[in-house]
Amino acid sequence: MTMAPTLRRLALALLLAAGSGSAALAQAGYYYQQPQPAYRGDPRAYPPGYYPGKLVQPAQPQQGFTLRRFFGAREEPSVPARKPVARPRKPAPPPAAVARQEKPKVDPATHVVVFGDALAGYARQGLDAHFAENQDVAVVPKIRGDASLARTDPADWPSFIKAALDGGQKASVAVVMLGTNDRQSIKDGEDSVEPLSDRWKDLYRQRVDAIMGTFKERKLPVVWIGLPPMKASKISEDLLAMNEIYKDSVQRNGGVYVDVWPGFVDEENRYTAIGPDVDGEPAKLRTNEGVFFTKAGARKLAFFADTEIKRLLGTGEAGTATAAAPNPGETAPAEGTAVPSVEAAIPAPPDAAAPVSLPSKPLVGPVLPLTRQDVAPGGTLVSAPPKLSGDHAYPVQRALRTGVPPSARPGRADDFRWPRT
């Protein structure tokens, strides 16, 4: 039990004899810890971990000369550090399914070309969703998001439209929506005209006429969508004045103006972000900044334009003819042969009976004055109540003046006498 302390003291004595005391101890890894004066008294006052006046060896063994080697003790073989076991990685999740891309429509018969600024992009989005299942209609965007009809050169938009239409782009109908960035001054030579002034309206109307003239030269039907109300009331007031310019110019040049304002206001004609969608369900139609549209709002915006597109193309569904196809069992008539109509096969209805003439009534009856004086049968004025005379005077006087009822006649309802037996 006491072999280990004895061997340790013997080892220290040999070290002191072999070297110069502290140098040998330092080589062996020992150092002397001096006691602190504050704790030389009561040992119970020592703090935890404090050992006064003893030799202390660091816990980690020092390389080089050790006591185990000095006494020839067998050193335990060092255990090699365990390599971290590589855990099997979880299989990576499969990549998210890519949204199904719609196949491009092959040779559609109807091409709806959308021209305009950022708001026109939402009209195009709504038309795309509306005609997604109709392979016979293609919606072609020609959008310039940051363009302005007031800021740019007057010939800028007409030139852009001509380049698009003359470059081989097929077009059955054009949809236009402009004006988001047009509440700004217009250059008139060297002068700058203030927005919405009388001169500004004249210059702006000329630019809208130039756009409509471009479509009119190519005999292309035009559906011009008006601007919707905005969250800021001052902007909405300006847009109302601009919509009047669009409506006047488009209708003068043979186009169709679509007023979408009622679809995005409440009962008091004020801006609202929530309203009925195309299915009649309440939905959020406008984005938070009060300018652009949500998906439901874009669908509703396109709904207004789609009605006029179908009417212009003369179809029940855009790109689908309304004429009924013949039945498979029927043979088509030869060319030049008159086709009998359904109306000709129906017998004519019988002649309607002549109305019976009724005597006409006068529109106005006899005029009777309300203040007319009563007259007697002879024509004299009645100045006093009539006097009672004759045989009927006595019972009338008794009944009306005295209150004595007249005697009941036999068989009358007021005859309560017992019948005679």
Residue 258: name the closest of 286, 214, 226 by CA.
226
Per-residue pLDDT tens for 51-64?
Answer: 455 544 555 554 44
Least confident of 67-71, 272-276, 290-294, 414-418: 67-71
Per-residue pLDDT tens digits for 370-390: 766 666 565 555 555 556 666
| pLDDT tens string 220-242 | 999 999 999 999 999 999 999 99
Least confident of 92-106, 299-313, 359-373: 92-106
Model confidence at 319: pLDDT above 60: no
pLDDT: which is higher, 289 or 372: 289
- Of 46 and 310, the structure prediction assigns the larger pLDDT to 310
Span 285-311, mean pLDDT? 92
CATH superfamily name and code, 110-313: SGNH hydrolase (3.40.50.1110)
Q: Which pLDDT belongs to residue 100?
A: 47
Lowest mean pLDDT among 30-44, 79-93, 404-418: 30-44
Task: Give percent of the chain above pLDDT 90.
Answer: 37
Which residue, 210, 313, 302, is CA-closest to 258? Answer: 302
Q: Could you tell me if 249 and 215 are in contact, meaning their C-beta atoms sit under 8 angstroms apart?
A: no
- Residue 59 corresponds to which tokens in the numbers above? 């816990």
Tokens linked to 223: 């559906």
The pLDDT value recorded for residue 107 is 79
What are the residues facing 283 on neighbouring strands? Answer: 275
**Mind listing the pLDDT tens digit for each residue in 109-150?**
899 999 999 999 999 999 999 888 888 899 999 999 888 898
* Burial of 263 per CB tally in 10 Å (0-12, 13-18, 19+): middle
**CB-based contacts of 247, cutoff 8 Å, min separation 6:** 226, 257, 259
How many Cβ atoms from other residues are within 10 Å of residue 30's Cβ?
16
**Burial group, residue 217, by CB count within 10 angstroms (0-12, 13-18, 19+):** exposed
Q: Mean of the per-residue pLDDT values for the chain?
A: 75
Comparison of pLDDT for 67 and 83, the residue scoring more? 83
pLDDT computed for residue 78 by the predictor: 54
More confident residue, 386 or 280: 280
Greater pLDDT, 37 or 209: 209
pLDDT at residue 166 tops 80: yes
Q: Mean pLDDT, to the nearest integer, of 153-175?
A: 91
Of the CA atoms within 13 Å of residue 318, those in its CB half-sphere come to: 26
Q: How confident is the model at residue 217, as a pLDDT?
A: 94
Give the model's pLDDT for residue 322.
Answer: 37
Domain ranges for the chain, please list them.
1-35, 110-313
- On the question of pLDDT at 273 being above 50, the answer is yes
Q: Quick one: tokens of 112?
A: 């709806």
pLDDT confidence bin for 409, thresholds 50/70/90 = confident
The confidence band for 98, taking pLDDT boundaries of 50, 70 and 90, is very low
Asked if residues 164 and 142 have their Cβ atoms less than 8 Å apart, the reply is: yes
Check whether 407 has a pLDDT greater than 70.
yes
pLDDT band at 163 (very low <50, low <70, confident <90, very high): very high
pLDDT digits (tens, 9 = 90+) for 18-43: 555 555 555 555 544 555 555 455 55
Above 50 in pLDDT, residue 99? no
In terms of pLDDT, which residue wins out, 188 or 373? 188
* pLDDT beyond 70 at 294: yes
